[in-house]
Amino acid sequence: MEGQLHIYRLSLPHVMTIGSRKVRGLGRKIRRSLHGRGVVGTLKFCVEALVNPSVRESAEVALSEFDRQFGVDTVGRIHIKDMDVSASDRADCAGYQGTPPQVFHEVLNVLKIKHEDFVFIDFGSGKGITLLLASELPFKRIIGVEFSPRLHQIAEENIRRYKSATQKCKQLMSVGMDALAFPIPRDPLVVYLFNPFSDKLMSKLLANIEQSSLDHPREVFIVYCNPSESRLLTKYRLCKAGFAGSSGGFAVEYGVYQVSGDQGRV
């Protein structure tokens, strides 16, 4: 069949069906992007994608390269409707997409902290790439919380497989449960969020973090990538020393917030 030219005859209703399917598909993509990136992020992504159509692919290429180098599996996108979680758990939750290593390094570099004192925790950790990347820093402990049993299993396998001569933290684990049910550790924290869920669940998680900071005042940072619900953080007045940036090549926006336990909600 190679090199053969096929000419299909399409009737007007046929063309209209395809057209409306495409429009519906585009609508779905835009809704997903708004949920994932927010309005500003979506506009920025569209501009980046027009200028450089390989933006989307570059994240997947970066993850594939990482997988090849370390013999792990972090690549791929999984829509929430294809996830092995109950229908009620799907509402308000995002699907899977891993953080490209370059973005992670750039964002974590913003934090000038003594890593040894901090526990790193990724709520909605997927296949666990952030856990592997964080283990290159001397964190006290590293925890990923993921509610998809399949992704949690892959993350556990990735942790087993990951071998790096420069790995600084060996205390890393993936926990298979809902992020909101996970008890917030009392240590100083770096909380990592790659847009795991929308406002309802985000509000609950922030309330948990806030309560924990009030009960046990300590340093808590929230690193929020593709921060579609960032307005919630300012509503809670958690943001003490914020930092906003974007990782251009991957069209990922991020914000870094510091939770102030003695300030609380106003």
Note the residues at the interface with ligand SAM (CB under 6 A).
Answer: 83, 93-94, 96-99, 122, 124-126, 129-130, 145-148, 151, 178-179, 194-197, 201
**CB neighbourhood size of 65 (10 A):** 13
CB of 151 to ligand SAM, least distance (A): 5
Cα 173–241–131 angle (5° rounding)? 15
Minimum distance from CB of 85 to ligand SAM (Å)? 7
Q: By C-beta, is 132 or 238 nearer to ligand SAM? A: 132
Minimum Å distance from CB 124 to ligand SAM? 2
122 versus 261: smaller Cβ distance to ligand SAM: 122
* In the complex, minimum distance from the CB of residue 16 to ligand SAM, in angstroms, rounded to a whole number: 35
**Long-range contact set of residues 121-124: C-beta below 8 Å, sequence gap at least 24:** 121/145, 121/185, 121/189, 121/190, 121/191, 121/192, 122/192, 122/193, 122/194, 123/179, 123/182, 123/191, 123/192, 123/193, 123/196, 123/205, 124/93, 124/94, 124/179, 124/193, 124/194, 124/196, 124/197
Which is nearer to ligand SAM, 57 or 84 (by Cβ)? 84
In sequence order, the 6+-apart residues with CB closer than 8 A to the CB of 181 are none
State which residue has the least CB distance to ligand SAM. 124
Cβ 8 to ligand SAM shortest distance, Å: 38
Nearer Cβ to ligand SAM (184/201): 201
Long-range pairs of 209-215 with CB within 8 A, sequence gap ≥ 24 = 209/184, 209/238, 209/259, 210/236, 210/238, 210/259, 210/264, 210/265, 212/184, 212/186, 213/259, 213/260, 213/261, 213/264, 214/261, 214/264
CB of 64 to ligand SAM, least distance (A): 14
Of the pair 82, 117, the CB lying nearest ligand SAM is at: 82
Q: Which is nearer to ligand SAM, 79 or 265 (CB)?
A: 79
